Structure 1
């Protein structure tokens, strides 16, 4: 029997603590059934939020309001998410952002999901990554020319010591591997794996990774996969936990420039895309 446990502090238990729990549970084992303590599976949520506020109704600067919003999101992340049965509810998040300060007029917020996997270097292996939430694919071939809805951090493969490789999808269920030549994608394998948009599962086949690229300027032992979900509400399944990666989300706050009550109302006013 596998038991996933999330510690009060930190993200995973030490092996010593896991062994101690198994020992304490031993008297309660039924027959040959023994517990196996495993780490929870974390899905990170990345948000991009463009907030507009009324500068005339507050003495706060945009930076101060941004800091307040980050604190509000952090409280939601800590107090509501990061638990096995806690659903990320999009309307809850956008409401929290709007309610952070009376001067806030609106927010346009988009959501992505990210997971990572640890490859075995120097040998050809298959990998399966499970988002356990449906992925955005409104029609076959969606955004194929733009890389679909999947992106990855970089890595190098056996036999190619020069090019840094990445993954995307073709909108038809195929995961593609490519490298850049003068900023242009060159596909090395158009069927490196599969992506199931209904279940959110990604399978990579026969991938011989020789090294892993740095992520955000730091050495890494994992490869990150980022996808667009079909729904803005994200559900944790079984041993899964969802949490907002605040430090790698994008939050911008600007003063609203709309001028009403005149013949010039709305002219030159720009909005942020919701997609």
Structure 2
């Protein structure tokens, strides 16, 4: 009968598995066998083995049949050693004690030595066994790839196999870009622990991919970018069927939080399904009669502080722009040459699907002061924001972050290419309101006014910071605000530059229209020092 060799423990870390074969129980020597994942190059005498998962989360060892791999004989002894893990429970461990045996070159046990272990980095990357959903996703892809990377789908299947710490991966061909980059495959990956792959890990994976890549195709890693979905939800309830309102609100938040952890969201190619969320909220408690929930999408721009930079943010979801302006909103930040906190917003170009970004300050809840009318551009159809070269000196949010929000045209939000979708419950709002019609307090509905199904009319994102100080605006050059150095001519005319030269331009006290100017529209302070320029995007 065919014998089976099943490892008796579950939770085995197969990367630590070592298998040795002894001719018999009396043998003093053993031969180490090598784990392989395919039979390419295997002969009848190759000392190899394979593993496969069996019942109860255990592994079975498979040996050769004498054609592909050396065949075991009756009486052979199989020795397997491995580490049994606790999965995620082992993450963060920082104290380890040596329990093994130390031997010298002659295999003699050394007894007068006590190792002192110093832990430099806490344990990480531990995880539970692969889920059934993950197996269903990757098994057909791995079979289709056949251990070679030709298409983008092949890379998505192979990478988790060679680096199990990958939680989600997205690969796409350069031909999908504008302009196209033929012969390249771009890869974005989210590790199971942490936000981004380390550069050293990327280099290691690129070396490993050479064993699978075909000639003429160059793989390249790109940083993943987070696309956040936020909700503003007004939940109506019948007062006759609910006791503690705070408990009801807590149950709503917990239900949405649980949904935010689902696999259909937290991945590349993830999709936020609006109908599921509003149904989920309605089903939290029988007292809930309805909910009015609006959706926002957000990207975080990481500012290159004190460096002149241009920024590009791709949301890859079409923007909704019903208003002539303030469809795009940001948190506050500061730029060189302007005193106080500034914000950015959009102005729709009439009859088109694009808009211009403008920079402004809020002097009070009603009044604003325009700082620059040409701060950047918005492509509503592509879901893309480009910010012209600017020197950002600080941000209201921590870690040099500027949060930029938009309203998606569709309430179903997709994560394409290198975008990784996350439902941000912490920045979502959930308000509970009495349904006076259902409760009987106002059966006719004459005093019942439902909340709007559209976004709020605020001009900025987050807390409003008013600016009472004056900016360092000198005047206007070709209709563009000028904040740099200047000098005064004999007739009183202000000119750009600390000293007069052929390149000096007149500065007017009010905006003028010009069709020939190509001057940068970003506020900046003119100095004699060399400035640094870079291009960046958010995460």
Residue 202 to residue 182, structure 1, CA distance change in 2 (3 Å): same
Q: Report the Cα offset of residue 259 of structure 1.
A: 5.7
> Which position in structure 2 is the counterpart of 1:19?
203
Q: Report the Cα offset of residue 82 of structure 1.
A: 1.2
Spell out the pairing of 1:43-62 with structure 2 (5 A cutoff): 43-59=227-243, 61-62=244-245
> Which position in structure 2 is the counterpart of 1:195?
378
Q: Report the Cα offset of residue 149 of structure 1.
A: 0.5
**Normalized against structure 2, the TM-score is what?**
0.46
Point out where structure 1 has 5 or more consecutive residues left out of the alignment. Answer: none
Spell out the pairing of 1:94-243 with structure 2 (5 A cutoff): 94-138=278-322, 142-144=323-325, 148-160=326-338, 162-172=339-349, 173-183=355-365, 184-213=367-396, 215=397, 219-243=398-422
Q: Report the Cα offset of residue 64 of structure 1.
A: 1.2
1:66 to 243, 246, 249: 249
Residue 264 to residue 43, structure 1, CA distance change in 2 (3 Å): closer
Instruction: Please identify runs of 4+ aligned residues in structure 1 that moved more than 6 A.
Output: 260-263
The answer on whether the counterparts of 1:55 and 1:255 sit within 8 Å (CA) in structure 2 is: yes
1:3 to 187, 192, 195: 187
> Which position in structure 1 is the counterpart of 2:436?
257
Spell out the pairing of 1:72-91 with structure 2 (5 A cutoff): 72-79=255-262, 80-91=264-275
Aligned pair count reads 263
| Larger relative strand fraction | 1
Aligned equivalents of 1:24 and 1:66: distance in 2?
49
Aligned equivalents of 2:440 and 2:417: distance in 1?
54
The answer on whether the counterparts of 1:98 and 1:107 sit within 8 Å (CA) in structure 2 is: yes
The answer on whether the counterparts of 2:330 and 2:345 sit within 8 Å (CA) in structure 1 is: yes
**Normalized against structure 1, the TM-score is what?**
0.87
Residue 164 to residue 221, structure 1, CA distance change in 2 (3 Å): same
Question: What is the DSSP-based 3-state SS (H/G/I as helix, E as strand, rest coil) of the residue aligned with 1:69?
Answer: helix
The answer on whether the counterparts of 2:305 and 2:392 sit within 8 Å (CA) in structure 1 is: yes
Question: What is the DSSP-based 3-state SS (H/G/I as helix, E as strand, rest coil) of the residue aligned with 2:272?
Answer: coil
- With a CA cutoff of 8 Å and minimum separation of 6, indicate the structure with the bigger relative contact order: 1
* Larger displacement relative to structure 2 (12-21 or 244-253): 12-21
> Which position in structure 1 is the counterpart of 2:35?
none
Aligned equivalents of 1:67 and 1:180: distance in 2?
35
2:423 to 205, 219, 244: 244
The answer on whether the counterparts of 1:62 and 1:254 sit within 8 Å (CA) in structure 2 is: no
Residue 9 to residue 100, structure 1, CA distance change in 2 (3 Å): farther
Residue 263 to residue 15, structure 1, CA distance change in 2 (3 Å): closer
Q: Report the Cα offset of residue 95 of structure 1.
A: 0.8
1:214-254 C-alpha deviation (Å, 9 max, x unpaired) = x2xxx222211111111211121112122211001110123
